[in-house]
Amino acid sequence: LRRQLVALQRVSSLGVLAGGICHELNNALTPILNYAKLGLRNPDPAFRQRAFEKILEAGQRASAISGGVLGVARPRADRREPTDLIRLTKEVTLLVGKDLSRHRVHLDFQAVGRPHARVNPAQIQQVLLNLMINARQAMPEGGTLRVRVGEDASGRIAELSVADTGVGIAPADLRRIFEPFFTTKTGPDASGQGGTGLGLSVCRDIVESHHGRLRAESRLGQGTSFTLRLPVCPAPASAKQGVA
Ligand code: ADP
């Protein structure tokens, strides 16, 4: 059942972002088509080499959007691997970028250090995606989405936070937001979406299965901040830079 809920929630976030995802995929497809055409016409090996590199780069972007980011290609895989949390978070912001700008939400992204954690990347991206979509929905008049990635003072815990300047959550509701099916999004809102009330319960489930914690703080009328904490792991040797 847990797996089904996770899958259901994934499809629901995809629905919210459908337009943005198409846009990003199109952005990646355009250079693929153009460089393929140019490369076919131009016999110069150096030019073709460059064209292939561009095609590969854009293809990887498209693959990150469709398969990597949301785990659509491998929804059942539960492989945990040392993951660069900054890179993982950036990929999600790429996906929501279009949706944010359409709703006049400014993205403020800040990353400190190079925190890594042993996670299933698609699942943690799903958590971040849900938090960012909720944040955007809480700012119907626009605002700022603040995303932070770093480590706590001990250096043993990675901290990822998603904060908005939106409507906020009343204290009585704040106690219940992680309950399955708890939602205040009753009718279709301005962007045509009602709520399932599953998002945050699935998020917390995923985070706790990674031995992490997910907490919320909010002030009515001022905004809400979610903080995800995960035990860090060493960066894989191949990804280390500047180490003798
Ligand atoms: P849904 O989004 O389908 O309602 P969630 O479990 O994701 O389900 O969220 C539950 C409830 O928590 C929402 O209906 C909303 O009332 C509240 N909520 C979640 N995130 C925010 C946020 N960033 N700002 C204000 N309220 C929020």
Q: C-alpha angle 140/127/178, rounded to 5°?
A: 75
Residue 63 Cα to ligand 1 midpoint, Å, equals 29
Measured between alpha carbons, how far is 114 from 53 in angstroms, rounded to an integer? 27
CB distance 223 to 150 below 8 Å: no
In this structure, which residue's CA is closest to atom 7 in ligand 1? 199
Pocket test for ligand 1, best of 6, 181, 183 (most atoms within 8 A of CB): 183
Output the tens digit of pLDDT for each of the chain's 244 residues. 767 777 777 777 777 676 677 777 888 889 899 999 999 999 999 999 999 998 998 888 787 776 655 555 455 567 899 999 999 999 889 888 888 999 999 999 999 999 999 999 888 998 999 999 999 999 999 999 999 999 999 999 999 999 999 999 999 999 999 988 888 887 655 444 567 788 899 899 899 999 999 999 999 999 999 999 999 999 888 655 555 5
Task: Report how far apart, in Å, the C-alpha atoms of 8 and of each of 14, 82, 192 are.
Answer: 10, 26, 18
Q: Which residues pair with 194 in a beta bridge?
A: none
In this structure, which residue's CA is closest to atom 23 in ligand 1? 135
Pocket test for ligand 1, best of 134, 169, 203 (most atoms within 8 A of CB): 134
The pTM (predicted TM-score) of the whole model is 0.80
Q: Residue 147: enclosing H or E segment and its boundaries?
A: strand 143-151
Q: Give the atom of ligand 1 at the shortest distance from the alpha carbon of 135.
A: 23
CB environment 64-80: b (16+ within 10 A), e (fewer): bbeebbbbbeeeeeeee
Task: Report how far apart, in Å, the C-alpha atoms of 154 and of each of 150, 211, 215 are.
Answer: 11, 17, 19
Residue 116 Cα to ligand 1 midpoint, Å, equals 28
User: What are the E-state strand segments in 69-104?
Assistant: 81-84
Q: C-alpha angle 201/202/204, rounded to 5°?
A: 65
CB distance 187 to 108 below 8 Å: no
Kindly give the interhelix angle for 121-137 and 85-102, rounded to the nearest 10 degrees. 30
Query: Quick one: pLDDT at residue 70?
Result: 59
Q: C-alpha angle 85/160/87, rounded to 5°?
A: 25
Write phi, then psi, for 189 (nearest 5 degrees). Answer: -85, -170
Q: Which residues line ligand 1 (CB under 6 A)?
A: 130, 134-135, 138, 164, 166-167, 169, 173, 177, 182-185, 195-201, 224
Pocket test for ligand 1, best of 12, 144, 200 (most atoms within 8 A of CB): 200
Residue 179 Cα to ligand 1 midpoint, Å, equals 11
Residue 40 Cα to ligand 1 midpoint, Å, equals 50
Residue 128 Cα to ligand 1 midpoint, Å, equals 13
In this structure, which residue's CA is closest to atom 16 in ligand 1? 184
Query: Quick one: pLDDT at residue 60?
Result: 80
Single-letter amino acid code for the residue at 32? I
Q: Give the atom of ligand 1 at the shortest distance from the alpha carbon of 130.
A: 7
